[in-house]
Structure 1
Amino acid sequence: MTYDAVVTTLRAAGCVYAEDEAALLLAADGDPAALVARRVAGEPLEWILGWASFADEAGHGVRVVVRPGVFVPRGRTIELALAAADALPPDGVLVELCCGSGAISAFLHQLAPGAHFHAADIDPLAVACARENLPFAEVVEGDLFAPLPSSLRGAVDVVVANTPYVPSDQVTLMPPEARDHEPLHTLDGGLDGLHLLRRIAAEAGAWLRPGGTVLIEISETQYDVAAAAFEAAGLVTSARIDPDGTTVIIGTPVD
């Protein structure tokens, strides 16, 4: 297939960035026609390519492996990673929950290579993918804090999580490539989108060392409810909001 033919095909399928996607698909391994057909069918571009870029506005970041069936890291989540970087000591201990591909930990390892990384996800596909991206980390399968070694209790500097935070009744409003392809448990955050946030907030204090920090990505409109959940769990709460509205809620246990 020629570049122009791929662009025309992708444009007709509704791909907003048809030119960029055409160049990437033609440069990828595999039969171009088959790859384009997968994209036209709505499959996430990152699954087709086998990787996703996770970088800040200056282009500093990482390329992570993303396998089919694994949540695709979003560009807006870089704000969560940058906030976690500010809280992580050079030799600190970080736990990434709901890690998916492990993009946050991969990004942070570049900034703090002397830190100690642990990651967890309930999905075995995500765990296998994260292990490819995080050879320097302990990656475990299980529900939130449950699979972590007990030796981490009271010893963690940073808990970071990009939990699913779309309210259940709004999942159908998401772009088709997400709602029709990515696993529902990576998108659906429960009745108000904050089900896992509440669980993490309630448990975080037992795992954080004094002065430690828990950070979770939410939408700007969810902040008041999320802050109430953090405060009910004994966390002093603040927020980091970037210009596009991406919001990171930050909590530190009360001394």
Structure 2
Amino acid sequence: MTASDPRPEPDAALVARLRAAGCVFAEDEARLLLEAAESPQELERLVSQRVEGFPLEALLGWAEFCGLRIAVEPGVFVPRHRTEFLVELAVEATAPDAVVLDLCCGAGAIGAAIASRAGPSVELHAADIEAAAVRCARVNLEPRGTVYEGDLYDALPPTLRGRVTVLAVNAPYVPTDSIAMMPPEARLHEPAVALDGGGDGLDIHRRVAAGASEWLAPGGRLLIETSRGQAERSAALFEDAGLNAHVETSDELDATVVVAVKAVAVRAGL
């Protein structure tokens, strides 16, 4: 520890213990756990749980996302860094006074990141079906935005219908049979409703596509995360729903996003 870095330095035994448990960034995790612990007993509890496989973010009570600390609690989906690509694309599409909806919001990381970059004039809404996620999202987004609990569009107030200019979605897209191959931190400690996308992983994408046109404003843009292998099939779902869709990818973040736009109606004679 230096004079410019007041963080406590973990001892070698603590780092070795975490590394032996499979923590790739053992030194960084050890520092974060030291900062979070208020006593040696608390540190031992946190380290023991981490060694047992509990997600680091749930133990700390926050996850880093787009430079923000997003509050999370145990049992809530932890935002992934690859989703920062979706945020980048969404911010590019967010004009002043835009109406932004973070659907399947989890802890509200996407909505918080868009709002932090797009400015105070953005009207922000978010929704999720899972109660613990909604609790976290309200901590992260309110009073800046409004968070609703419910199943996709059913959670939304009718006043949003046809007004959403940016619809950002990180719906589950892991095929059911692939859940067992996910890292234990996810499959054992995050809710199935946030991971399981059905037989081909696109069940929720189909439902999002089916209702998107009703909630988007003319010219409104929907952005939904997916995998490279699923991207063309997901894009086709939104095309079939009457939107113009294409696929964007980031090699740096290993991220794939389908972008779908609602056409602007042209009046006859113009």
TM-score range for the pair, normalised by the shorter chain length: over 0.9
Aligned twin of 1:181: 189
Displacement, 1:65? Answer: 0.5
2: CA distance between counterparts of 1:185 and 1:3?
39
Displacement, 1:14? Answer: 1.0
Specify which of 245, 251, 261 is matched with residue 237 of structure 1. 245
Displacement, 1:89? Answer: 1.2
Aligned twin of 2:123: 116
Structure 1 residue 157 corresponds to structure 2 residue 168: no
Query: What does residue range 1-255 of structure 1 map to in structure 2 within 5 Å?
Result: 3-30=11-38, 31-55=42-66, 61-112=67-118, 113-135=120-142, 136-244=144-252, 245-255=254-264
**Identity, % of aligned pairs?**
52
Contact in 2 for aligned 1:96/1:119 (Cα 8 Å): yes
Matched residue type, 2:165: D
Displacement, 1:228? Answer: 1.3
Matched residue type, 1:22: A
Contact in 1 for aligned 2:112/2:140 (Cα 8 Å): yes
Matched residue type, 2:62: W
1: CA distance between counterparts of 2:63 and 2:260?
29
Deviation readout 1:187-206 (Å, 9 max, x if unpaired): 11111111111111110100
**TM-score, structure 1 normalization:** 0.95
Which is higher, the Rg of structure 1 or of structure 2? 2
Displacement, 1:2? Answer: 5.0
SS in structure 2 of the partner of residue 107 of structure 1? helix
Judged with a 3 Å threshold, the aligned counterparts in structure 2 of structure 1 residues 189 and 2 are, in CA distance, closer, same or farther, namely same
Unaligned residue ranges in structure 2 (runs of 5+): 1-8, 265-270
Deviation readout 1:21-80 (Å, 9 max, x if unpaired): 11111111341110000101100000000001102xxxxx31110111110000000001
Contact in 2 for aligned 1:3/1:26 (Cα 8 Å): no
2: CA distance between counterparts of 1:83 and 1:15?
31
**TM-score, structure 2 normalization:** 0.90
1: CA distance between counterparts of 2:81 and 2:233?
24
2: CA distance between counterparts of 1:215 and 1:198?
14
Deviation readout 1:71-98 (Å, 9 max, x if unpaired): 0000000001111111111211011111
Matched residue type, 2:261: T
Contact in 2 for aligned 1:94/1:118 (Cα 8 Å): yes
Matched residue type, 1:166: V
Matched residue type, 1:137: G
Contact in 2 for aligned 1:157/1:213 (Cα 8 Å): yes
2: CA distance between counterparts of 1:188 and 1:149?
26
2: CA distance between counterparts of 1:80 and 1:231?
19
SS in structure 2 of the partner of residue 20 of structure 1? helix
2: CA distance between counterparts of 1:68 and 1:176?
14
Aligned twin of 1:58: none
Displacement, 1:210? Answer: 0.6
Deviation readout 1:78-137 (Å, 9 max, x if unpaired): 001111111111211011111011001111111122100110000111101100000111
1: CA distance between counterparts of 2:72 and 2:206?
28
Superposed structure 1 runs of 4+ greater than 2 Å apart: none
